Amino acid sequence: MATVTNWIDHLNKPAEEVVGAVYPGAGSMETTLVIIGIVLWLGWHVLTARSESEELERLSRKRYGANDHKSNITDW
């Protein structure tokens, strides 16, 4: 592990001397992971919207009345 012994010299380095990122996996790997994350996020939203639409459609076909909850209907 590298340590800094003189902060003034370290902070005054020109940008050309700073080489690469300070963490592993920067660059194409990072971009690939971001793209995979976005695809998974969008896919989750699509699947959730479909399943919720199907459930709401199924419930709307049952046509519950305004007072049906008083009859203790299961699967409400």
pLDDT in tens, the chain (76 residues): 466 677 777 677 776 666 666 666 777 888 899 999 999 999 999 999 999 999 888 887 877 777 777 776 565 5
* CA max distance for the chain: 80
H/E segment holding residue 55: helix 28-62
Which pTM does this prediction carry?
Answer: 0.52
Given a contact cutoff of 8 angstroms between Cβ atoms, the answer to whether 4 and 10 are in contact is yes
76: Cβ contacts below 8 Å, ≥ 6 apart: 64, 69
**C-alpha atoms less than 13 angstroms from C-alpha of 69 in its C-beta half-sphere:** 2
